Amino acid sequence: AQSVTQLGSHVSVSEGALVLLRCNYSSSVPPYLFWYVQYPNQGLQLLLKYTTGATLVKGINGFEAEFKKSETSFHLTKPSAHMSDAAEYFCAVSDNTDDYKLSFGAGTTVTVRA
Amino acid sequence: DARVTQTPRHKVTEMGQEVTMRCQPILGHNTVFWYRQTMMQGLELLAYFRNRAPLDDSGMPKDRFSAEMPDATLATLKIQPSEPRDSAVYFCASGEGLAQYFGPGTRLTVL
C-alpha cells in the first residue's frame, strides 16, 4: 500500500520568493507521483505528474517537482511566488498497477504575502 | 475545453432525506472516481468505476451510500438516509490512464 506525507500544513511566502512544498511517499513498487492544486471553492487541478523517465518534471504555472528515489521524495517548487499561487496543494501517489487509485496527502495551504 | 461537471453545486437537506449527486465525466474517459473532502479526514476515495463497472467501493458506508453509472455520461452518488456527519464536499473525477480530472464538487450540508 502506498501513502504520502506532506510536511507542513501551512506555508507562507512573500511575493517573488521561492515556494517549496515537501512531499514524501512510501510505496512498495515504483510509484506514479502527482501534485494537484485546489483554489477556494473549486475542484483539484493537476499541476504535474511523474511516471517514468526524467526525474525533473515541469508543470503548469511555473511549478516543477523532482523525483528522488533515494529520498522517497517529490518536492514541489516554484522560483518566484505570485499572489495567484495562494491555494491548497496536494501530493498524491499511485502504485504501478492499472487501477490508478490515488492516495492523497493531507494538503499544504500556501499564502502569499504582498 | 472538456470538463467534469457536477450537479448540484450546493445542497442543504435535513437529516433522513435522500440526497442524489450527479456527475458527467469527460467524454471518452473510462474511469470515474467519487471522493469526499472534509477538514478532519481530508480527501477520501469512496468508490470508482472503470468502463461503468464498479471496481472498488470499500470507502463507502455500505448501509447508506450507493454509487452507480447508468450510462457512460452519468455517474450518481446517493445517500439514503442522510446524516449530519455526511456534510462534506463530494468530488467526482474522471480519467483515462494516470491523470484524474476533478469536477467542481457538490457541497452537502445535512442539518
The 10s digit of each residue's pLDDT in B3-30 is 999 999 999 999 999 999 999 999 999 8
Lowest pLDDT segment from A91-95, B12-16, B33-37, B86-90: A91-95
The Cα B89–Cα B35 span in angstroms is 8
| A43 → closest Cβ in B31, B55, B91 | B91
Strand partners, B45: B35
- Whether A102 sits inside 8 A of B100 (CB atoms) is yes
B24: nearest Cα among B102, B111, B107, B108:
B102
- Whether B4 sits inside 8 A of A94 (CB atoms) is no
- Whether A106 sits inside 8 A of B42 (CB atoms) is yes
- Mean pLDDT along residues B43-70: 91
B99: nearest Cα among A33, A73, A54, A30:
A33
- Mean pLDDT along residues B99-111: 95
3-state SS record for chain B:
CCCCEEECCEEEECCCCCEEEEEECCCCCCEEEEEEEECCCEEEEEEEEECCEEEECCCCCCCCEEEEEEECCEEEEEECCCCHHHCEEEEEEEECCCCEEECCCEEEEEC
B87: nearest Cα among B102, B60, B107:
B107
Question: Does B98 reach chain A within 8 Å, measured CB to CB?
Answer: yes
The Cα A91–Cα A77 span in angstroms is 12
Contacts of A43 in chain B (CB under 8 A): 4, 91, 93, 102-105
Strand ranges in chain A using DSSP code E only, listed in sequence order: 3-7, 10-14, 19-26, 32-38, 44-50, 56-58, 64-68, 73-78, 87-94, 103-104, 108-113
- Whether B104 sits inside 8 A of A42 (CB atoms) is yes
- Mean pLDDT along residues B39-67: 91
Is the pLDDT at B49 greater than 70, yes or no? yes
- Whether A101 sits inside 8 A of B103 (CB atoms) is no
* pLDDT of A95: 75
Give pLDDT tens digits along chain A (114 positions). Answer: 778 999 999 999 999 999 999 999 988 777 899 999 999 888 999 999 998 888 999 999 999 999 999 999 999 999 999 999 999 999 999 876 657 788 899 999 999 999
Q: What is chain B's mean pLDDT, rounded?
A: 93
* pLDDT of A98: 59
- Whether B42 sits inside 8 A of A104 (CB atoms) is yes
Is the pLDDT at B89 greater than 70, yes or no? yes
- Mean pLDDT along residues B83-91: 96
Contacts of B36 in chain A (CB under 8 A): none
> Which one of B29, B43, B45 makes the best mutation probe of the A interface by having the most chain A beta carbons within 10 Å?
B43
Contact A21, A12 (CB under 8 A): no
CB atoms closer than 10 angstroms to residue B59? 15
* pLDDT of A10: 96
Residue A101 or residue B32, greater confidence: B32
A81: nearest Cα among A16, A11, A6, A37:
A16
